[in-house]
Amino acid sequence: MKSAFFSLLIMLVALGTTSAQRFAIVDVAKIMDNMEEYTAAQKQLDQIAAKWRQEISEQYDEVRSLYNKYQAEQVLLSDDERKAKEEEITAKEKEVMDLQKQRFGQDGDLFRKRQELVQPIQDRVQAAISEYADQKGYDAILDKSINVGILYVSDDIDKTKQIMAKLGIKAK
């Protein structure tokens, strides 16, 4: 966080000391939150995640049921039967943990689905910002939604509304 703040500070100082440098600020989160297709994609992702969480929860319930049943029967089982039941429970638990990692892991299904649904929208916003910067002669446009130490932004340099208009977005 400090590193990002100092990088931003150095960039702002460099922009200020070099004559004819122009920069602006936009709030990408506000732009995205006002895009119907983005909110629809987020809703779809939430529904998918909820479905997968339910699926995993049900499978963990099965593991608990197997374990409880094993606990109740344990004294009646032979050593080989106990070992077999323990291996069955362990295998089922590993299976559920693998599914959870597959769905919600760092490069899991939810991450890929998010890339599939949200990346095209982000690319469109980025293209609009780049085009706006080129048209208006800006050398840098910073995103105030990432909160890298920007404490105040003048309405004169906040171009969020202009980018939203360029994309045909009405503020909610």
The one-letter amino acid at 135: Q
| Cβ(140)–Cβ(12) below 8 Å | no
Among residues 149, 144, 155, 134, the alpha carbon closest in space to that of 13 is found at 149
Mean pLDDT of 18-42: 88
What's the pLDDT at 5? Answer: 52
State which residues form the domain around 92: 2-167
Kindly state whether residue 136 falls inside one of the protein's structural domains. yes
Rounded alpha-carbon distances, angstroms, from residue 20 to 23, 96, 120, 155: 10, 59, 33, 20
What's the pLDDT at 53? Answer: 98
Main-chain phi, psi angles of 141, to 5 degrees: -130, 125
Among residues 29, 96, 89, 99, the alpha carbon closest in space to that of 60 is found at 96
Main-chain phi, psi angles of 25, to 5 degrees: -125, 140
Kindly state whether residue 62 falls inside one of the protein's structural domains. yes
- Number of domains into which the chain is organized: 1
Q: Looking at 58-72, 98-112, 128-142, 148-162, which range is the least confident one?
A: 148-162
Kindly state whether residue 172 falls inside one of the protein's structural domains. no
What's the pLDDT at 83? Answer: 95
Kindly state whether residue 43 falls inside one of the protein's structural domains. yes
Mean pLDDT of 50-75: 96
Kindly state whether residue 74 falls inside one of the protein's structural domains. yes
- pLDDT tens string 115-138: 999 999 999 999 999 999 999 998
Q: Is the pTM of this model over 0.75?
A: no
Kindly state whether residue 27 falls inside one of the protein's structural domains. yes
Residue 149 or residue 157, greater confidence: 157
Kindly state whether residue 38 falls inside one of the protein's structural domains. yes
Percent of the chain with pLDDT over 90: 63
Kindly state whether residue 142 falls inside one of the protein's structural domains. yes
Mean pLDDT of 10-31: 72
